[in-house]
Structure 1
Amino acid sequence: MTDIQSSSGSGLDEAQMQMLPPPPGTFVDREELIQHVGDFAVSQGYVVTIKQSKRERVVVLGCDRGGVYRNRKKADEETSAERKRRKRSGSRLTNCPFEAVGKKDDGLWVLTIKNGTHNHEPLKDITEHPSARRFSESEIVLIKEMTEAGLKPRQILKRLRQSNPELLSTPKHVYNVKAKLRQGNMTVRNFKSLRPEKSAGRDKHLSIAEPSWRQRYPMRVPNFIGGRLVNSQSFASIDVINPATQQVVSQVPLTTNEEFRAAVFAAKRAFPQWRDTPITTRQRIMFKFQELIRRDIDKLAMSITTEHGKTLKDAHGDVLRGLEVVEHACGLASLQIGEFVSNISSGIDTYSIREPLGVCAGICPFEFPAMIPLWIFPIAVTCGNTFILKPSEKDPGASVMLAELAMEAGLPNGVLNIVHGTNEIINGICDDDDIKAISFVGPNAVGAYVYARASAKGKRTQSNIGSKSHAVVMPDASVGATINALVAAGFGGAGQKCMALNMAVFVGGLGPWEEKLVEHAKALKVTSGTEPDAELGPVISKQEKEQIITLIQTGVESGAKLVLDGRNIVVAGYENGNFIGPTILSDVTVNMECYKEDIFGPVLLCMQADSIEEAINIVNGNKYSNGASIFTTSGVAARKFQTEVEVGQVGINVPVSVPLPFSSFISAKPSFAGNVSFDGKAGIQFYTQVKTVTQQWRDLVSDDSSSHQLPSS
């Protein structure tokens, strides 16, 4: 009531009060802040312009008074003092009290509204204002090109109106632009062109459909900071190359430290409000998110195939396995229920609750461009945290697309942020005091480094690293099913996945299996992942291909038998692609370099064992322990294997033992370093902390007793 009376007392009518000030917020740069205020003002029926600017520190925006100029005295009626005062005051800006101030604070621009009122009515049509005739930057460029080609102002205007029929400029405006271009003092103001339809209604929730980042930034992958796609100011970048064609798909910027800090600041700023958002609201956003992923799954799969090289079928599987985690996040409320014990002492209760940590971060590998990001950030944000995601610099497109879908689903600005880069960004994530927890999936050396550096800073860390998955094949195993499983799990995704079955131990010898195994592997169609009949695509880079070939050669030189050689395969139409055909090495021993190292390609190493005990010893002797499977029709053998094998994931007649999201992804030995594992209850434990509350309520009026003793039963 007080606010209404105050407004009425100031003489503002209802129309003036409807002109709302833009909502305060935080922006990555000055131009973005100005753009935000300008667009919102147009939707409310007024126009803003810059009153004062100290470019690196502050900008003051005022109302242009709806295009109504002050009444000025004629020069011959003014005294010299009045003329000087008029020059100092400058322009019509002093007429309206509205004022918005943007200040740079800790690398970000913060918008505050100093005075949100107006003393004039809103424009009924924005076309009344002269700025509606302002040319856009692209139109200025076209004017320059057509001027150099000898076209007259009327001809130029006619051509501009073919692409923009609502252009309000006149030939005189074109002539003025031409004159400024000739004089070399033409500057393009960084405002969107004001279009008549934008002022038809003054809806503060006005939303305008925008093209995806691939249309806006066809060669430069943007960061995603504070709910906005932000093109990095870094000059350094890395090419994202299609593995099948060697064409440059896009460029990944090496994000600057200032941009990284802006992302962390945006996440930190968003955390208090997101933490206080009801869990049911967060779940509803996840429901919408999974719906949007299903809607755009073909686009996501195509992005993955283009950047990573895996077949479209594998790319769909990549998205679907990640989607399962989003679906799991839709029901996290019941998994965050705390514990309550009533009356532990006279009138005293105790209970525990789970609370989010704050800003968390994820560092992702190249092998699953959609699945790994979806493994981590949906659980983290649904638990109430905000998130910084660093995708692989080799295939970042899917992560940016997922971030856009998350925003479309209703995720607030700043809750999810994406920054691109390499070592510098990883170091920043490990060292930043505002980041409380880190999830990492990737190579051995990097994972060990991240765990050591982040742990030294006191951060929670989960680091899923080296993998060497074994399959133990018993003599009684079903031949057809086992061969199909070995070929699919060993060569699927070109062997570029942490749970690929790249090591097979044949109890009793390889002899009965070799012919059929080679036959099935040879039958795989090797070609670009975009081809409809593709079964095996290229590896992600030429460096990876060379490393795989080197490890194959070391195996041959160490005495392994090359049963099937795919090193020299040439794919018609994709001769420059990073292709390696299915490769099988037999007679491999534990001392060979190809066995010790993670090959990460379409290579199946075959060993022989005399008994199940020897096979189990081989598995347990390897330094990596992601997973292992046994193929048998004997329950006794299966149970023995399950009990004695020392790995995190066990498969019985299942080639790749990756559990569903409600079961945690467990790795053992050096394959995992950290506090708590991924997914399931463990994932929730990682992204939350337990708080125990002990409470007592007394009727202070009727209870005169006082005691300084600790409560006891």
Structure 2
Amino acid sequence: MNNIQHHVGGVPYGEIARSGAVFNPATGEQTATVAFASAADVAHVVKVAAAAQGAWQKMGLVKRAGVFFRMRQLLIEHTDQIAAAITAEHGKVLSDAAGEISRGIENVEFAAGLVNLLKGEYSTGVATGVDVHTLKQPIGVVACITPFNFPAMVPLWMSASALATGNAVILKPSEKDPTTAMILARLWEEAGVPPGVFNVVHGDKEAVDALLDSPGIGAVSFVGSTPIARGIYSRAAANGKRVQALGGAKNHMIVMPDADLDSAADAAVNAAYGSAGERCMAISVLVAVGDATADAVVAKIRERAESLTIGAGTDPDSQMGPLITREHRDKVASYIANAPSQGAEVVLDGRSAEFDSDGFFLGVSLVDRVTPQMSVYTDEIFGPVLAVVRVDDYDQAVDLINANSFANGTAIFTRDGATARRFTEDIEVGMVGINVPLPVPIGAYSFGGWKDSLFGDSHIYGPESIHFYTRSKVVTTRWPDPSESQLDLGFPSNH
């Protein structure tokens, strides 16, 4: 059985005094043991990262940019290897794993433009003989705490921008699927990142708390559930750190009566059940405007969902794999069990699906006639469950979404341009799709929601990440004429 250590200063580090088990979700078998860092381990890695960061910051920008071009190529060359590691520990099908890698590569490509991204501003002659310019300088050492559902993409979202701006990175990946982070560490160093600039520590709450409390950490980036995101933000901010903590979601997709219902049904199935629903951008609520629309689209979704092939992610015929753990699978199943007693209609019950292995499988579920008071609506289920809420008109649909405490992503399916344009203005959600069910921005934009889906004022990756991982410094310069008097006790004015 594989024993996974930390990666610190370019080498394996740490003894497995405390550890966690890593499973293959498709078989239910333990495949590895991963070390859990102690507070002392975290103190060590912070010290190593701080020692390495200065030289990385001073590396010429053009030379540093070359690292990202090489990393892009290495990620392409190793996509199959990384995807296999993701599938083995997360469970998602190989094509889905390859897709997340490609979205991570987008952010490496964006970061490769660091020479342009780090340009400051310059004003000459703001006063007699006085010039002003700005600098963008790194925070120093930053912590990136990432979730299990995207073990390659989210670390690349964070680390690409953090490294491009001259910081040293300590990545704390999910202990449920840690191998991908170790591959990324090796690839970053092969691309040219000096040892100690990109480090990986594994662990549980003890390791996270040590990162949040460490005086050597200047910024923390986190993606996970809302309760944990709120706690991360509060603790790190109280310790004087810059924080972006992305939380949970309950993403709604409105289907208008004029929508192409076949396209809407395809999109709903893809967005609700892809990656077994373990996506923060998954569509978990379909809002059907009018009973006729609801009846038609539910029938189309059911027809498509019943034909899905669920199995091991390594099987090329599989369209959906297992959930991450047995405990999570059982929790997701409990929402289906409770739905009828709360008044919902279970159109498809994923618990009835049968599988040939002891993996953490669950079939897809479709629950109709859901109301906002039901737990299948209020909770972030994070599984292959699609709830259908019926409303009378567009205004009710928008009011429903805007009343929700989550505001990560949303979408509307319609053929009417005026309705679509109005929706983009009316809706109080951070990312909006028009006939696009998963509106995840390309790497040149930034990702993040509103309300309880984000704690902090910066979204992840893209332009906002450059701001998040840097501090601006304003320099005012004057080269006076030696013949001029320098004695003036008045407050300086720009004349």
Q: Shift of the alpha carbon at 1:704?
A: 4.8
Structure 1 Cα separation of the partners of residues 140 and 484 of structure 2: 42
Counterpart for residue 194 of structure 2: 412
Give runs of aligned pairs for residues 261-280 of structure 1, distance below 5 A.
Answer: 261-280=43-62
Counterpart for residue 455 of structure 1: 237
Q: Shift of the alpha carbon at 1:706?
A: 2.8
1:707 to 478, 482, 487: 487
Offset from partner CA, 1:450-483 (integer Å, 9 cap, x none)? 1000010110000000111100000111122111
Q: Shift of the alpha carbon at 1:339?
A: 1.1
Q: Residues 234 and 256 of structure 1 are in contact (CA less than 8 Å); yes or no, is this contact kept in structure 2?
A: no
Give runs of aligned pairs for residues 278-317 of structure 1, distance below 5 A.
Answer: 278-317=60-99
Correspondence 1:227 to 2:7: no
**3-state secondary structure, aligned to 1:695:** strand
Q: Shift of the alpha carbon at 1:593?
A: 1.1
Give runs of aligned pairs for residues 124-203 of structure 1, distance below 5 A.
Answer: none
Return 5+ residue gaps in structure 1 as ranges: 1-217
Offset from partner CA, 1:15-67 (integer Å, 9 cap, x none)? xxxxxxxxxxxxxxxxxxxxxxxxxxxxxxxxxxxxxxxxxxxxxxxxxxxxx
Q: Shift of the alpha carbon at 1:609?
A: 0.7
Paired letter, 1:346: T
Counterpart for residue 563 of structure 1: 347
Correspondence 1:659 to 2:441: yes
Q: Residues 490 and 501 of structure 1 are in contact (CA less than 8 Å); yes or no, is this contact kept in structure 2?
A: yes
**3-state secondary structure, aligned to 1:417:** strand
Structure 1 Cα separation of the partners of residues 222 and 340 of structure 2: 34
**3-state secondary structure, aligned to 1:435:** coil
2:332 to 548, 551, 558: 548
Offset from partner CA, 1:599-631 (integer Å, 9 cap, x none)? 100110001010000000111111100011000
Counterpart for residue 104 of structure 2: 322
Counterpart for residue 532 of structure 1: 316
The alignment of Structure 1 onto Structure 2 pairs a total of residues equal to 491
Structure 2 Cα separation of the partners of residues 707 and 681 of structure 1: 44
Structure 1 Cα separation of the partners of residues 440 and 21 of structure 2: 32
Structure 2 Cα separation of the partners of residues 360 and 494 of structure 1: 31
Return 5+ residue gaps in structure 2 as ranges: none
Q: Residues 470 and 627 of structure 1 are in contact (CA less than 8 Å); yes or no, is this contact kept in structure 2?
A: yes
Structure 2 Cα separation of the partners of residues 679 and 326 of structure 1: 10
Structure 2 Cα separation of the partners of residues 608 and 641 of structure 1: 18
Q: Shift of the alpha carbon at 1:711?
A: 4.6
Paired letter, 1:337: K
Structure 1 Cα separation of the partners of residues 75 and 163 of structure 2: 17
Structure 1 Cα separation of the partners of residues 19 and 10 of structure 2: 23
Structure 1 Cα separation of the partners of residues 348 and 266 of structure 2: 17
Paired letter, 1:507: V
RMSD: 1.1
2:219 to 402, 415, 437: 437
Q: Residues 254 and 411 of structure 2 are in contact (CA less than 8 Å); yes or no, is this contact kept in structure 1?
A: yes
Paired letter, 1:249: T
Offset from partner CA, 1:669-693 (integer Å, 9 cap, x none)? 1110013111121110000010000
Paired letter, 2:11: R
Q: Shift of the alpha carbon at 1:393?
A: 0.3
Counterpart for residue 675 of structure 1: 457
Structure 1 Cα separation of the partners of residues 338 and 348 of structure 2: 15
Correspondence 1:521 to 2:305: yes
Q: Residues 253 and 283 of structure 2 are in contact (CA less than 8 Å); yes or no, is this contact kept in structure 1?
A: yes
Structure 1 Cα separation of the partners of residues 261 and 493 of structure 2: 68
Paired letter, 1:226: G
Q: Residues 364 and 441 of structure 1 are in contact (CA less than 8 Å); yes or no, is this contact kept in structure 2?
A: yes
Structure with more relative contact order (C-alpha pairs < 8 Å, separation 6 or more) = 2
Paired letter, 2:387: L
Structure 2 Cα separation of the partners of residues 568 and 304 of structure 1: 27
Structure 1 Cα separation of the partners of residues 472 and 298 of structure 2: 54
Counterpart for residue 686 of structure 1: 468
Counterpart for residue 426 of structure 2: 644
**3-state secondary structure, aligned to 2:315:** coil
**3-state secondary structure, aligned to 1:502:** strand
Offset from partner CA, 1:500-535 (integer Å, 9 cap, x none)? 001000001211222211010111100000101110
Give runs of aligned pairs for residues 19-58 of structure 1, distance below 5 A.
Answer: none
**3-state secondary structure, aligned to 1:318:** helix
Structure 1 Cα separation of the partners of residues 148 and 421 of structure 2: 35
Larger Rg, first or second structure (1 or 2): 1
Distance 1:515 1:712, change over 3 A: closer
**3-state secondary structure, aligned to 1:567:** helix
1:483 to 258, 265, 287: 265
Structure 1 Cα separation of the partners of residues 485 and 410 of structure 2: 65
Structure 1 Cα separation of the partners of residues 189 and 385 of structure 2: 40
Paired letter, 1:532: P
Structure 1 Cα separation of the partners of residues 21 and 213 of structure 2: 27
Q: Shift of the alpha carbon at 1:594?
A: 1.3
Q: Shift of the alpha carbon at 1:298?
A: 0.1
Q: Shift of the alpha carbon at 1:259?
A: 1.9
TM-score between the two structures when normalised by the length of structure 1: 0.68
Paired letter, 2:485: S
Structure 1 Cα separation of the partners of residues 350 and 232 of structure 2: 35
Paired letter, 2:338: T
Q: Shift of the alpha carbon at 1:698?
A: 3.0
Counterpart for residue 622 of structure 1: 404
Offset from partner CA, 1:116-163 (integer Å, 9 cap, x none)? xxxxxxxxxxxxxxxxxxxxxxxxxxxxxxxxxxxxxxxxxxxxxxxx
Counterpart for residue 363 of structure 1: 145
Give runs of aligned pairs for residues 8-19 of structure 1, distance below 5 A.
Answer: none
Correspondence 1:332 to 2:114: yes
Structure 1 Cα separation of the partners of residues 243 and 77 of structure 2: 33
**3-state secondary structure, aligned to 2:494:** coil
Q: Residues 625 and 669 of structure 1 are in contact (CA less than 8 Å); yes or no, is this contact kept in structure 2?
A: yes
Identity %: 38
Counterpart for residue 125 of structure 1: none
- Stretch of structure 1 that moved more, 475-484 or 588-597: 475-484
Structure 1 Cα separation of the partners of residues 31 and 102 of structure 2: 24
Counterpart for residue 205 of structure 2: 423
